[in-house]
Amino acid sequence: MFYREFHFRFFAWLFIAAALLLVPASFQARDNDEKTIYIVEVSGNVDPGMAAYIKRAYREITQAPYSLVVVEVDTYGGRVDSAMEIVDTLISFPEGKTVSFVPEKAISAGALIALASSDLVMAPGSTIGDTAPIIMGRDGPEMLGEKFQSPIRAKFRALAERNNYPVALAEAMVTPEIVVYEITMADGTVQYMTDAAYQDLTEEARENITTRRTVVPEGQLLTMHDREAEAYGFSRMTVPDIPAMLAAMGYEGYTLVRFSPNWSEDMVRFIGSIAPILLMIGLAALYIEMQAPGFGLPGTIGVILLAIVFLGQYMVGLADYTEFLIIALGLVFMGVEVFVLPGFGIAGLAGVALITIGFVLALQDFVIPDPDIPWQMDILVNNIIRVLGSFIIAFFVGLFVVRFLLPKFSSRSEGPFLLSDLGDAHADSEETKRINVGDAGIAVTYLRPSGKAEINGEVFDVIADNEYIEQSTPVFVSQIRGNWIVVQRKDLS
């Protein structure tokens, strides 16, 4: 009994001692983990791929203890919808846990992203501002009007109020018509006020103003260098790099972890940049496949390229199963047009329409534009133009290939050659021995460019000579090239 009780007490004390030793170690490990500081790179063009990357960074960082997130912003901007999405992700971090560092530039959408963090720090010589929405017109960049500026200005106003930045100066980054004054009050305090707000002041309030200085004149967008941003209350400090910033903020003994897009995200962003080209080539390849019997290399290339475009949009969160089903149904209709119903009719048109709708929806994150978000209509129009433009260009490219290139490839004969070119030889073909140049017949199938024709009461495999010939069209044998029977459309006039 004593022996068993001794063992029980011995193991109990051993367990308690082990727990006492492990608990401080676990707390110490957690304390070390919480000294981790993440650097999230925001560089290059602001696009849906960048928005997806920032979302991944948010998910992974918030799943582990961390001390601070440094958003390193170095960009001229990009798509406004992607910038808004990135801002919404950044403000999801707990307040006080993010700081934006601008090493060189945070222009346009970059300025909006930089102001989304709880603090802003800039490097010497860096700039921030100039966020007016623009569109590329025939004569170059054109500034969009109040309808587009208003929601962006509202976002700047919300971020300025959240982080205690001067609201008037923040709005002046968006709208060139806003005039901003620096107002010094009698008690020495400094305020930044728009001309509209100044005009609304009472005479009594104006008497308390000692000086008024124009900071942003009419017709100019606010763009600040590092010292101006610090003087106007945007930038917390000016430092050369992130370690210097962290030292000035009092961080010691931390571990820096740099977050940047991985290879797959870089690949997806690259695919997004060339998506219209891939779409055009893919559609052209499908058109070429429709003009030839069977399913071969052009059809395979077309399907692969369309799949690459769709998967790129799927990985950035713009495309989903609905778009996939629409595009897949369009391809099915195209297949029916090729294999079941020769020619180009209702099935082909339905396939084109479905593929167009599917890819337009895959290029955006909405179905019907929201009237309160004016740039969505522009995005929809742009996407329709991109997809339909790809179809039109693909049609002409495919037509050129079918009409001029494929016949040359099919009739090409490589050496070595004898003294005779064998142009009139029948190459021991039983079929070609039964017909002669000039024999007339009728196309039994569509010749695109190959198919079948009835000549002298027999059906032969033939190839059209540099043209597309409809079914039931009168033809005649223009050449016999080895085993090839070449036909042309017969003029009945």
Residue-wise pLDDT tens for the chain (493 aa)? Answer: 433 444 444 444 444 444 433 333 333 333 344 689 999 999 989 988 899 899 999 999 999 888 899 999 999 988 888 999 999 999 999 999 999 999 999 999 999 999 999 999 999 999 999 888 877 666 666 777 777 888 899 999 999 999 999 999 999 999 999 999 999 988 888 999 999 999 998 888 888 889 999 999 998 999 999 999 999 999 999 999 999 999 999 998 999 999 888 787 788 878 888 888 888 888 888 777 776 655 567 778 888 888 888 888 777 766 778 888 988 898 888 777 766 665 556 777 888 888 888 888 888 777 787 777 776 787 888 888 888 888 888 878 877 776 766 666 554 445 454 444 444 444 445 666 778 888 888 888 888 777 888 888 888 888 887 777 888 889 888 888 777 788 888 876 5
297-315 and 321-339 helices, crossing angle to 10°: 170
* Rounded Cα gap, residues 149 and 426, in angstroms: 75
Start-to-end CA distance of the chain, whole Å, equals: 122
Gap between the Cα atoms of 227 and 245, Å rounded:
15
Could you say which of 1.10.620.20, 3.90.1150.10, 3.90.226.10, 3.40.50.1820 is the CATH number of the domain covering 34-178+218-261?
3.90.226.10
Query: Do 91 and 117 touch, CB atoms closer than 8 A?
Result: no
User: What pLDDT score was predicted for residue 461?
Assistant: 84
* pLDDT recorded at residue 259: 85
Please give the pLDDT value at position 25: 34
Which residues, including other chains, have CB under 8 Å from residue 62's CB and lie 6 or more apart? 93
Q: Looking at residue 246, what is its pLDDT?
A: 94
Q: For residue 436, which of 468, 399, 480 has the smallest C-alpha distance?
A: 480
pTM exceeds cut of 0.75: no
SS3 450: strand
Output 230-235 pairs: Cβ under 8 A, ≥24 positions apart. 230/122, 232/166, 232/169, 232/192, 233/164, 233/165, 233/166, 234/115, 234/120, 234/128, 234/165, 234/166, 234/169, 235/120, 235/121, 235/122
Domain boundaries in the chain? 1-33, 34-178+218-261, 270-409, 432-489
| Per-residue pLDDT at 343 | 55
CATH code linked to domain 432-489: 2.40.50.140
